[in-house]
Homo-oligomer: A and B are copies of this chain.
Amino acid sequence: MRRMTARPANAHQARLLRLLRDGGPNSRAQLGDQVDLSRSKLAVEVDRLLETELVVADGLAASRGGRRSHNIRLNPHLRFLGVDIGATSVDVAVTNAELEILGHINQPMDVREGPVAVFEQVLSMAAKLRASGLAEGFDGAGIGVPGPVRFPEGIPVAPPIMPGWDGFPVREALSQDLGCPVMVDNDVNLMAMGEQHAGVARTVHDFLVVKIGTGIGCGIVVGGEVYRGTTGSAGDIGHIQAVPDGRPCACGNRGCLEAHFSGAALARDATEAAEQRLSPELASRLEANGTLGAADVAAAAAAGDATALELIREGGNRTGQVIAGLVSFFNPGLVVIGGGVTGLGHTLLAAIRTQVYRQSLPLATGNLPIVLGELGPTAGVIGAARLISDHLFSPA
């Protein structure tokens, strides 16, 4: 179970590895078309990569009319682990070097139990995936946590919803436990990287990803790179004031967006509406399950329940108002909406769009798509795999 520890020796090799990751198997000639290197130089670098076993030869490429060429591909035995820790559940997935998901487990969990308990669970999930024959070991792992991270060290800093994680050396600890390189980032940033790699944001360089889950966060991509801010807390839009003198928020202020719309706020509002008998649909669901969540509201709305629709619409308006401000400020080329509440679907999206298109200036909104994420719950783990592969596929 020895793993590949080799790293690209120079920028050319790193470039080639990324091309193979993003474009799949390629012949030497096809690679040559993309990298602006002489054939000889390219051949040398490919040979060196073959020596390190980071890439392997893999059959014949499709003929383009002349001599048939051999394909080069990333070593099919390479395995990355993607971990996406949410507030109430955790996703663990195994990918190959092309970041295709080979296996994916989701389990409920509570971050507030602290890093030790959570990582115990994560490690057992990883072991389960390994046991099922998907991987003999991992060449790298990306971890997403629901809070700000000091990125270079991979350490959460002052995370509001996960006390007990503050200062815990996630990167180092997991690197020990897994025996492979580890990178840690905010879950929203990973979602952005996921949508950038395999989702709706493949061709855009500057975009925002708004994740509405238990809380609300925003991933910022500038020039194709995730922007994390000075202290790693960029994108923390949940506590932007959406309603002057609005509801009290856990952060101590009033009217925070997150207090008015988020998975948690929505669940509370729905329960309240059900208890007050404003919505028969929600009331019956509350009775059936004992608790209500975003999914229940989505179902009620789909059934035409007026109260549920109104909740979604109002939340969408609030969110849209905040996003409108961000659009004016940031002038992105795309806004992606994702997270647990994606199930609310078009009603939510329509409300957000209405606000943004109404409030921001035409120059910024003129050609601005606002869309739902394409990858759903896999965005995070794909982003995590992408994170560690970016790290490993860069010059040592």
Interface range for A? 35 or more
A239 proximity list for chain B (CB < 8 A) = 328, 359-361
B residues less than 8 Å from A312 (CB atoms): none
Asked if B325 and A236 sit within 8 Å, CB to CB, the answer is no
Interface string of A205-232 (1 = CB under 8 A from B): 0100000000000101010000111111
Q: Within residues 339 to 384 of chain A, which ones have a CB less than 8 A from any CB in chain B?
A: 358-364, 366-368
Query: Within the assembled complex, what's the spacing in Å between the Cα atoms of A329 and B328?
Result: 13
Residues of B within 8 A of A333 (CB): 230
Instruction: Contact check, B229 vs A364: say whether CB atoms are below 8 A apart.
Output: yes
What is the copy number of this chain in the assembly?
2
Are B251 and A361 in contact (CB-based, < 8 A)? yes
Identify A363's interface contact among B148, B227, B228, B237, CB under 8 A: B148
Interface flags for A156-184 (1: CB within 8 Å of B; 0: not) read 01101000000000000000000000000
Complex Cα spacing A200 to B358, Å = 37
Contacts of A218 in B (CB 8 A): 329
Known: A230-B206, A333-B230, A366-B231. Is A328-B236 also a contact (CB below 8 A)? yes
**CB of A65 closer than 8 Å to a CB of B:** no
Contact between chains at B330 and A229 (CB < 8 Å): yes
Given the contacts A222-B222, A241-B321, A331 and B361 also touching, CB distance less than 8 Å:
no
Q: Does A143 make an interface contact (CB < 8 A)?
A: no
Query: Which residue of chain B is the closest to A229 with respect to CB atoms?
Result: B331
Q: Does A322 contact B (CB under 8 A)?
A: yes
> Do B160 and A253 touch (CB < 8 A)?
no
12 contacts between A and B (CB under 8 A): A206-B230, A228-B331, A230-B333, A231-B367, A236-B364, A237-B328, A239-B359, A240-B328, A241-B325, A241-B359, A253-B358, A322-B325
Besides A230-B332, A231-B363, A240-B328, 6 other A-B contacts (C-beta < 8 A): A229-B364, A233-B331, A240-B325, A253-B359, A329-B329, A329-B330
